[in-house]
């Protein structure tokens, strides 16, 4: 299930099931989006990116969907594994501007 | 792939002392580096943008005299937390921009955990 509140929104998922993580971005001028995975005590790790001229992009076990109309981004992880347990952040950027703006993050807990 | 290192990975200091954190791009030249701060269970907040050979650009609310940034070479930026206090305890993360890469050009370091007693 999913819980919100004082802690990070947490998605608990059974090993082998699919995970969907959502992100609402803020800047309608953003034209490039990235999903990062952050394990405890480590820096962010690039997972997948998508440009605004696309609405879907697939990688290995991951898919990113972009809905510019409602400024929404999602990350789908297929066949979730224990190693996928981490915090996932979306980030947005306007091309030509170096600055990345990070979303709030979602904790994924994989139950073996 | 591009590798960014940070040193130290963990530091504990007494209140009132200054702490320097290094960020290095190991296999590319970074004209721009970024410093972020992350509190527990929170997102990364950009503190400043560091440009080689010029003054850093600080985000609103970040004290430039408190967080001194020096980007003296194309592979090294340093963040010095001056007169550190317990509220400065945080996870500090740098990233470096590889200008030869389009779009996904920021590569992140592993972070530095600062604890101020």
CB pair distance less than 8 Å for A43 and B113: no
Q: Which of A7, A101, A102 sits opposite B41 (nearest CB)?
A: A7
B31 to chain A: closest CA residue: A98
pLDDT above 70 for A1: no
* pLDDT given at position A2: 43
Instruction: Kindly report the length of chain B.
Output: 117
CB pair distance less than 8 Å for A41 and B46: no
CB pair distance less than 8 Å for A32 and B42: no
The pLDDT tens digits for A43-101 are: 999 999 999 999 999 999 999 999 999 999 999 999 999 999 999 999 999 877 788 99
pLDDT-derived band of residue A102, with 50, 70 and 90 as boundaries? Answer: very high
What is chain B's pLDDT, residue by residue, as a tens digit (117 residues)? 689 999 999 999 999 999 999 999 999 999 899 999 999 999 999 999 998 888 999 999 999 999 999 998 999 999 999 999 999 999 999 999 988 887 777 899 999 999 999
Per CB-CB distance under 8 Å, the chain B contacts of A32 are 103
* pLDDT given at position B105: 77
DSSP A57-90: EE-SSEEEEEETTTTEEEEEESS--GGG-EEEEE
**DSSP assigned state of B23:** E
* pLDDT given at position B2: 85
CA B95 from centre of chain: 7
Number of other residues whose CB lies within 10 A of the CB of residue B21: 23
- CA B107, B20, A98, B29 torsion-angle sign: negative
> Where does residue B76 rank: exposed (0-12), middle (13-18), buried (19+ CB within 10 A)?
middle
Number of other residues whose CB lies within 10 A of the CB of residue A99: 14
CA atoms of B79 and B50, how far apart (whole Å): 10
* pLDDT given at position B39: 94
* pLDDT given at position A4: 41
Best mutation site among A32, A39, A98 for testing chain B: the one with the most B CBs within 10 Å? A98
pLDDT above 50 for A24: yes
Per CB-CB distance under 8 Å, the chain B contacts of A44 are 44, 93, 108
* pLDDT given at position A97: 78
Q: Which of B41, B106, B110 sits opposite A100 (nearest CB)?
A: B106
* pLDDT given at position B1: 67
Q: By a Cβ cutoff of 8 Å, what residues of chain B touch chain A?
A: 4, 6, 32, 34, 41-46, 49, 91, 93, 95, 97, 103-104, 106, 108-111, 113
Number of other residues whose CB lies within 10 A of the CB of residue B32: 19
Contact B69, B35 (CB under 8 A): yes
CB-defined contacts A:B, below 8 A:
50
* pLDDT given at position A7: 66
């Amino acid at each position: 299930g999913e819980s919100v509140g004082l802690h990070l929104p947490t998605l608990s998922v059974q090993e082998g099931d699919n995970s969907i993580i959502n992100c609402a971005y803020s800047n309608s001028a953003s034209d490039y989006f990235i999903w990062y995975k952050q394990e405890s005590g480590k820096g962010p790790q690039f997972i997948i990116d998508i440009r605004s001229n696309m609405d879907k992009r697939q990688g290995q076990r991951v898919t990113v969907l972009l809905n510019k109309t409602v400024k929404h981004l999602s990350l789908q992880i297929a066949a979730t594994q224990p190693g996928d347990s981490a915090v996932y952040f979306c980030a947005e950027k306007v091309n030509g501007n170096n600055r990345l703006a990070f979303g709030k993050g979602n904790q994924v807990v994989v139950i073996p | 792939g591009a590798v960014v290192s940070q040193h130290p990975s963990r530091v504990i200091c007494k209140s009132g002392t200054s702490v320097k954190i290094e960020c290095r791009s190991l296999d590319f030249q970074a004209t721009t580096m970024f410093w972020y701060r992350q509190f527990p269970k929170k997102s990364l907040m950009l503190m400043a943008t560091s440009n080689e050979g010029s003054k850093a650009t600080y985000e609103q609310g970040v004290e430039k005299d408190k967080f001194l940034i020096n980007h003296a070479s194309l592979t090294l930026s340093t963040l010095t937390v001056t007169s550190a206090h317990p509220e400065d305890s945080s996870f500090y993360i740098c990233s470096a921009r590889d200008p030869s890469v389009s779009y996904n050009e920021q590569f992140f370091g592993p972070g530095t955990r600062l604890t101020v007693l």
